[in-house]
Chains A and B, each alone.
Chain A
Amino acid sequence: MREATLTMTEPISGNAGDVVNRPAPAHADPIAIEEAELVQRARKGDLAAYDQIVRRYQERVYATVYHMTSNHEDANDLTQEAFIKGYQALKSFKGGSSFYTWVYRIAVNKTINFLKQRKNRAQMSLNDLDFNAEHDPDLVALISDKNPRREAGLTELQEKLNEGMQKLSEPHRLVVTLHDVQGLSHEEIAKIMGCNIGTVRSRLFYARQQLQGFLADYLK
């Protein structure tokens, strides 16, 4: 699971869609070329190719949806639906952005629609923390002053953090998730959200302010 965490923060590969429509230059990113080939095969109905695409991006897509919903079951359903929708809509994928950005956008739109519908019946179903959490220097430093019982402290922090996240509006929660949790750049977030970078920055600042207010008791 540590591997999954690391892959979540990998930068998005280049514009694979451009490679689909034009001959690849010699210096093109091999990952992007491979993605483009997989996408082309999947467009022709090759399910094995699409299976590889799903395996490649599932962790990042799932993580985003999970952090938005704070519910594993909902995240599971939405992630599956996003990949199914991605397959059904492959013919409309023009390659203007990378496939990753495109499927991410589908997942984000589905999640936001879902959250608007469930508005008043939000229920958290949190995933367990992995073993490495106890050894994360940031977290150790954060809880050592608060609570000597580390495990209980981390679980409590996890619940409060998720409650705080759920109090944010969907766009603000999404920006915090993509930037502070997933490690995406402002440019990448702007592409996914379909807004400009200034909007991303201002939303991030406001969301952090809000979150800091909610979690004041748990921050130094």
Chain B
Amino acid sequence: MRLKAQSFFLILLLPALGILLLFIALPISQSIWLSLHRVIIGLPGLGELFIGLSNYRELFQDPVARHSFWVTLFFVTVTTFFELLIGLFLALLINLRFPGRGALRACVLIPWAIPTVVAAQMWRFLFNDSYGLINYMLFGGNSTSYIPWLALPNTALAAIITADIWKTSSFAALLILAGLQIIPEELNQAAAVDGAGTWRRFKHITLPLIRPALLVALLFRTIDAFRVFDLAFVMTQGGPADGTNVLQLYGYRKLFVEGLMGYGSAISVVIFIIILFLAVLYVHLAGRRLMEARI
């Protein structure tokens, strides 16, 4: 009976594992395989020639790819930092008890819920060079000093960073909120009775206890920021002068616009390795504890 039950449960797993094998595991392995070959979509006659690590060698010397890597790294660092900061603030706020907390929580969720593409069009509109609200707020009616935000490499990157911070700070807030909710209220009350002020309670009780949640938020946000695509695609198309040409956008261009399946796969494998490294770090630092606590 016991053995029969176990095999019954293993059968229940098959549909899910089958889908994941077909659409995640096999594609990943095929990407690795493709990255070792020269495959061009437009030239099927060329076949699939094995060229070893040539694609990677070419990639590491490709100035556009290197630039793209640094742009992405800068994007990831800045957005993650501000998202955690704003997320922590929002989480502390929506964890308090006050009338209208439910409504505020719903408001905070809105940026997370709307499609990234909509957020991108929204910020493209607000950053418009001649009638955008941001220029108006900074310079009023004096249109001669308006900045063409999306037409200059550095300000375009800043615009995309702004859009990402707006869009995903609330997700960071939710992850941190989960950490805040497990702090027993008696702990704070006891400390308050002992005369500890708000700041000291935050520093000595809240902060150490939400460290795991902060870590999870940090790694989730880092991993996700490395995959940025939609914002750059809609707001700037990677321009100007590759100023916002993030890695996933560059990979997309090589794979699907230029049809370089081999070279594009090398880019996608590099992104995969970066994220895998971060994920392993995540599982190592927080995952074990998480699994033990819940399962």
Q: Do A and B bind each other?
A: no
